[in-house]
Structure 1
Amino acid sequence: MRGVTHNRGYWIASYRNAKVLGRRLTKSFNDSDCRAKEKAIKQRASWVAKYGEAPHRSRADYSGFENDNFEVLGDTGKSTKGIKKTQIVIVRNKHTQELEEHNAAAIISGQATGIGNRKSKMRSTFPGAFPKKGKWLSQVSILGKTYYLGTFSNAPDASKAYYNALKAWEQHGEIPKPRKNNTGEKNISYREDTRTFRFRKTINGRMITAEFSNLGEAIAFKHKYLGGN
Structure 2
Amino acid sequence: MSSTNRSLPLPPELYKGTALEAAPRLLGQHLVRRTEEGDIVCRIVETESYGGIEDKGSHAYNGRRTARTEVMFSSGGAAYVYLIYGMYHCLNVVTGSVGDPQAVLIRAVEPLTPADAERMVSFRSITVKRPSDLSGGPGKLCRALQVNKSHNGTRLDVSGGPLWIEQGTDPASLDVVQCPRINIPYAEEYAGRPWRFYIRDNPYVSVKDPQAVPLIWL
Q: Is TM-score (shorter-chain normalized) higher than 0.5?
A: no
Larger Rg: 1
Higher share in strand: 1
TM range (shorter): under 0.3
For CA contacts below 8 A with separation 6 or more, give which structure has more relative contact order. 2
Q: Could you tell me the TM-score, scaled by structure 1's length?
A: 0.21
